[in-house]
Structure 1
């Protein structure tokens, strides 16, 4: 009896195991055989739709907004979306922005293990044709404006690259290349002050190089061709200054830099009045840097051999920045040629302020690059170097 029961029981167990084994693959396959979907969404202008959702439903019995959506996948900033774990079926796939449906595909078959690409391009002709006349008008206006913006951005990108290259060429002494680049740039965008100022820098560098070559050859730097180069630079700086002043948001820094450079161009042309006015304008534009601009004025006049103007500019620089040593050196150098000889004593009589300027230079820069020259001048005109300056500063 026990043996018979064992056989019956064993047969039943074996049958159940067989049935379970046959059923198991089908059950596992049904549970794991889901689908995936991904794609890209463009708006009617042909640009990536950077927000919204893609929703899937098999419900076709009601209005789009009233349907129940089994799956929702977000559209990212690049216009892409993706989703997985979707039960096989035939779906309506709808693009939403907020609560509004804006595009759809009503026949997307997803089989088990599918990874289907479903893109939406709302710039397609049939989509645009269904837009209202007002919507199409707005779309065309947007596309036109966008094309203009993209063209402007492309131009700005190119001009920035040319500006960087021109500045590098000017710094390297490749003035002709820099001038050509900036002439092209100012032709392409004549209302940009920075481009004109960069052109002026290249022209000023070219003029300086020509003047240096003339001096080396023993010819005068007042040659008309050289003066024309300085004139071209001045004209470019003035153009940049005027455009900056007329802009919606004038740049104080741009104005100051341009006026400073304009002062150099005028000064090297020998136009003392306009040079002084330009440096004065630079100082007014940026009062915190007035000492530097007045110093530059003094240096420009001194290098141009205009000593009276150099001394006057040095006084202005000292008044706002009394601790710049080189300003005192320029003042002393500008005054020393006015020294006279006392007919009774035959001693050299320096002009007022000259010795004091030299002594102040030594006070501020006892080991400066001009210290030895200054001491030699003072000794040469019979002046005693003040003991506190003579030994220089002790190194710590």
Structure 2
């Protein structure tokens, strides 16, 4: 009997446990079937259509109207684009507000949230209802802001278009499409005549066109002194001078802009054989940007040398090496310019070159024993009976 009772008792206990488990499962199922949370998203902008700084969207069921003491049930940040979103909202009816630095700037009352709903609430403060509630002073400030903003937007759009044109013109100049750059920059300088960089780029286009015209003139037998040829170079010089003047008059003059303008003027004058003005321009470039003086003075020497102005080229080469003693090409130009005045004794056939010529050649080889002109310089020195003092030999550097 005792065994039977024990068995029955355990059986009853087991059935009771199963019953309790079933009740617990039913309760859990009932809990899972409760209302699903809602969510919210939207956009926030002020009366001018711009984003609101330090904005948050807040929800409350609190009837307290004092924003300092109200209890906010939910708070969601607004991002830099003016967008926000929030989840896990208990389905109820809320007051939904947007605040900026803890100050309420807009709101919507009696906003119902249904279970599982993703509610859209946009705070567009350009809406008539919002603007109508503004004070006369606020409305006046808003209109003034819109007016200024419109001017600024138009100016920014103009600048953007000019930057696109400038970039394209520079690419055209680089590719040798000077006529296209000339047309573009002529229009640009008409639209924004106070921008130095536009005049520099226009000058580059004009210089490219002038150079093409010079080559064509030479091919047809015209002289570089032909008025039409000269005028095209003069047009480029005028544009560069305009850029230099605008840069000098600006609040923050840029040394590189002035130097660039003078450097290009030097090229233009050099092309038409005006050695004096070319030298002056390059000298001004070196003064404008002393850190690059060696480069500008070398350009002066090269320009004058290419223009056949040998004495001027030699003098410019001296200035270039004074600014940059390691500029091998400047020594080469000096040697080449001076060797033009070499003389030959008819009796001894001995070649005599002007003072400084041999030293310039030797210095070139010292700095550039494998340079582009090393073989040529070695041949010249050997030809005039000089001993080559560098390590150059047959185009190779001795070990």
TM-score (norm 1): 0.89
Whether 1:294 and 2:297 are equivalent positions in the alignment is yes
How far off its partner does 1:227 sit? Answer: 1.4
Given that 1:50 and 1:76 are in contact with CA atoms closer than 8 Å, whether structure 2 keeps it comes out as no
* 1:266/1:17 CA distance change after superposition, 3 Å: same
Aligned positions of 1:1-396 closer than 5 A: 25-30=29-34, 33-342=36-345, 345=348, 347-380=350-383, 382-388=384-390, 391=393, 394=397
CA apart distance, 1:176? 0.2
Q: For residues 220 and 385 of structure 1, do their structure 2 counterparts lie closer, same or farther at Cα, with a shift above 3 Å needed?
A: farther
Structure 1 CA distance for aligned equivalents of residues 18 and 323 of structure 2: 107
Q: 1:17 to 1:355 in 2, by over 3 A?
A: closer
Taking a change above 3 Å as real, the CA distance of residues 33 and 387 of structure 1, as seen in their structure-2 partners, is closer
CA contact (8 A) 1:46 1:122 kept: yes
User: Secondary structure of 2:33's partner?
Assistant: helix
Given that 2:332 and 2:361 are in contact with CA atoms closer than 8 Å, whether structure 1 keeps it comes out as yes
Structure 1 residues 378, 217: CA separation in 2 closer, same or farther (over 3 Å shift)?
A: farther
Judged with a 3 Å threshold, the aligned counterparts in structure 2 of structure 1 residues 63 and 378 are, in CA distance, closer, same or farther, namely closer
Question: Contact 2:362/2:390 (CA < 8 Å) preserved in 1?
Answer: no
Query: Structure 2: which 5+ runs fail to align?
Result: none
Judge which range, 163-172 or 218-227, deviates more. Answer: 218-227
How far off its partner does 1:82 sit? 1.2
How far off is 1:321 after superposition?
1.6
Aligned-pair CA distance for 1:158:
1.8
Per mean C-alpha deviation after superposition, the further-off stretch among 69-78 and 48-57 is: 48-57
Deviates more, 1:344-353 or 1:330-339: 344-353
Q: Secondary structure at the match of 1:39?
A: strand
* Distance in 2 separating the partners of 1:322 and 1:9: 107
Question: Is the contact made by 1:65 and 1:101 (CA closer than 8 Å) also made in structure 2?
Answer: no
Compute the displacement of 1:327 (Å): 1.1
Structure 1: 5+ residue stretches without partners: none
Matched residue count: 393
Q: Is the 8 A contact 1:326 1:361 kept in 2?
A: yes
Match of 1:352, SS? coil
Separation in 2, partners of 1:303, 1:9: 115
RMSD: 2.9
Task: Output the CA distance in 2 between the equivalents of 1:112 and 1:376.
Answer: 96
Q: Is the 8 A contact 2:206 2:235 kept in 1?
A: yes
Q: Distance in 2 between matches of 1:347 and 1:10?
A: 131
Deviations 1:263-306 (A, max 9, x none): 11122233222222211111112212111111100111111122
**SS of residue paired to 1:338:** coil
- 1:94-132 Cα deviation digits (max 9, x unpaired): 111122111001021101111100101011122112111
CA distance in 1, matches of 2:389, 2:82: 79
Classify 1:20/1:353 alpha carbon distance in 2 versus 1 (closer, same or farther; 3 Å). closer
- 2:342 touches 2:354 (CA, 8 Å); kept in 1? yes
Q: For residues 175-230 of structure 1, what are the alpha-carbon distances to aligned partners after superposition, in whole Å with 9 as ceiling and x for unaligned? A: 00111111121112111111111111111122222222333444323322221111
1:309-358 deviation line (CA, Å, top 9, x unaligned): 11111111122222212212211222223233446655443222223222
Instruction: Return the offset for 1:165.
Output: 1.1
